[in-house]
Amino acid sequence: MTTPLDDPIEGTRDYLQSKADGGIRGRNGTVYEVRVIAFELIKLFQRVLAKKLAAQDVFATWQASGWYIDDALITILNEHHHYEMKTGGKEIWGKKEGSIRWCFCKQELFDQRSNRKAFYNLVLSHDNSFETLSSTGPTSVNVRYYPNSGKPTVINDRVENFISSIISLFPISKQKALFATYAGLGRVFLEFDFNDVNLVYQQFQNAFQLNCADVPQSLDVILFYVSRSIPGMIPHNRQGFQPRVAELLKLIPEIQFDVCDGLVFYRREEGVFGLAPIELGSPSGMVFERYVLDGYFTSAEMLSDYMEELLEGTDDD
């Protein structure tokens, strides 16, 4: 992709080159940028889970050199979302070369000339700067506040749906109805606390920081690095059985399976029900699906016995 740095018409190569070099040298000190984009990636993952977006259609870049607005760049299909982050308390729009206004205006002019569909975001961590800049400046720039904190409770006070967005990535979040049906004895299948929220947020930061420095990386890859560090997070590509597995299970009478967020529940006609000790996308799910495809299960009794054996093995551990 051609950037303003590659375009001789821009006439600002020296400025853009110095901006890129400065970004590389200062990368270790830009924790705030990583925190902001980590939450953007979490929100995008929600859209993936809702099947409104494909993870392979999203690319994120940290310190995207060659652009006027370069702290972060998220590309969704043909849409380019530029992010500039500021932590100072006396930020102004300004007019001279290198000012916030100048950079956004130059970026917008380049995008218009290049027929490039772009969106612009200015994210601020200081109340004074937010009050000053949110009421003035270019109308094309979305000015937002985001706390410069790594604590979920602090962020949640100022950022709508922060904690609830992260909780939605866990299997427990959408299973209240199923638990009401299956957990008749009041058994708690999954437990959740705010340490889990902090862990997920931190792992999204780590994955973005390690994989996206001046290199566009797909959300698929980012999610791989995140999920392997967080047991129980929803596998984004396994929200149901393989089609052939689902067909074969439906042929077995007197037992029904429900899949929710990668977890599997089973129900028998005589009232036997429970959480299956398998999780799609994990080794337990792969083995189970292989057995189904191989025709290992021919009756509801065999399936129930298999679940009970796995549960006994889990209890022994």
What would the mean pLDDT of 38-66 be, rounded to a whole number? 92
pLDDT given at position 22: 52
Residues 107, 67 contacting (CB under 8 angstroms): yes
Dist. CA 136–CA 279, nearest whole Å? 51
Listed ranges 105-114, 232-241, 252-261; the one with the highest mean pLDDT: 105-114
The per-residue pLDDT for range 2-42, each reduced to its tens digit, is 888 877 666 677 777 777 555 544 444 489 999 999 999 99
Say whether pLDDT at 183 is over 50: no
Residues 139, 120 contacting (CB under 8 angstroms): no
What would the mean pLDDT of 81-95 be, rounded to a whole number? 95
pLDDT given at position 125: 95
Crossing angle for the helix pair 219-227 and 194-211, to the nearest 10 degrees: 130
Say whether pLDDT at 69 is over 90: yes
pLDDT given at position 310: 79
pLDDT given at position 168: 82
41-78 in b/e burial notation, b at 16+ Cβ within 10 A?
A: bbebbbebbeeebbbeebbbbbbbbbbbbbbbbbbbee
pLDDT given at position 130: 96
DSSP string, 26-58: TGGG-HHHHHHHHHHHHHHHHHHHTTSS-GGGE
**Greater confidence, 189 or 16?**
16
What would the mean pLDDT of 219-225 be, rounded to a whole number? 86
Nearest to 224, CA basis, from 27, 33, 48, 40: 48
The per-residue pLDDT for range 254-313, each reduced to its tens digit, is 898 877 656 787 887 766 667 787 877 667 788 898 899 999 999 999 998 888 887 775
What would the mean pLDDT of 203-225 be, rounded to a whole number? 90
